[in-house]
């Protein structure tokens, strides 16, 4: 079977690291900035970055509703940090009026932005992750956490008592940044979701 084509949303945030991680995990990886690119991919990674800026760039590039539509139609997606925020059905502390993060509704969950604190409160640690052997090195940078999960959502990892990784169907999300560690198991898990293996 040929490698799946996985896009990385490249409007704002750390796209290069995800492209490299996806290629090492066995996918063909491209950047997504246009509707035709979104329409072509078998799966999509929404990287870390600034969730309100990414929301408004999605709207400016006419990708917000097409992406919501593809997610509703079952597009596999993986969101890291800001990507987790955007994949939520509900966002707490979504930002100032008029500059709010806009939920894509890919996972039935409520996420709190910047829940672990500001940039200076960033941290990393080893956490158990359901479906992966051993622990995962989790790098949290102005990270969110999940406050509520719906009945169809599987909790995959917790840190400091909070939910930090979830999966619902073909949609995966982490509050941390596995792309910066060199450990490709989370990306490999996502590639396997895309290929249905």
Show which residues are catalytic. 81, 177, 179
CB 60 within 8 A of CB 33: no
- Is 107 labeled as ligand-binding? no
- Is 142 labeled as ligand-binding? yes
Nearest to 81 by CA among 115, 125, 120: 115
- Is 141 labeled as ligand-binding? yes
Query: Tokens 């999605």 belong to which residue?
Result: 58
Q: How far is CA 175 from CA 62, 63, 66, 92, in A?
A: 26, 23, 24, 14
How open is the CA angle 128-137-45, to the nearest 5 degrees?
A: 95
- Is 184 labeled as ligand-binding? no
- Is 193 labeled as ligand-binding? no
Instruction: State which H helix or E strand residue 56 sits in.
Output: helix 51-60
Tokens representing 64 are 């917000």
Query: Tokens 């040929």 belong to which residue?
Result: 2
- Is 148 labeled as ligand-binding? no
88 forms beta bridges with: 107
Query: Residues at the annotated binding site?
Result: 49-51, 113, 141-142
Query: Residues at the annotated binding site for L-glutamine?
Result: 49-51, 113, 141-142
């Amino acid at each position: 079977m040929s490698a799946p084509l996985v896009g990385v949303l490249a409007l704002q945030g750390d796209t290069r690291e995800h492209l490299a991680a996806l290629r090492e995990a066995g996918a063909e990886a491209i950047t997504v900035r246009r509707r035709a690119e979104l329409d072509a991919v078998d799966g999509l990674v929404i990287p870390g970055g600034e969730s309100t800026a990414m929301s408004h760039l999605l709207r400016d590039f006419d990708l917000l509703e097409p992406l919501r539509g593809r997610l509703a139609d079952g597009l596999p997606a993986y969101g890291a940090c800001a990507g987790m925020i955007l994949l939520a059905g509900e966002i707490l502390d979504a930002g100032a009026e008029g500059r709010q993060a806009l939920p894509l509704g890919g996972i039935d969950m409520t996420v709190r932005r910047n829940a672990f604190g500001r940039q200076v409160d960033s941290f990393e640690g080893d956490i158990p992750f359901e479906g992966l052997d051993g622990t995962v090195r989790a790098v949290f940078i102005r990270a969110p956490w999940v406050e509520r999960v719906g009945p169809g959502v599987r909790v995959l990892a917790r840190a400091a008592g909070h939910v930090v990784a979830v999966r619902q169907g073909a949609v995966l999300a982490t509050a941390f940044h596995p792309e910066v560690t060199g450990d490709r198991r989370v990306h490999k898990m996502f590639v396997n979701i895309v290929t249905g293996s």
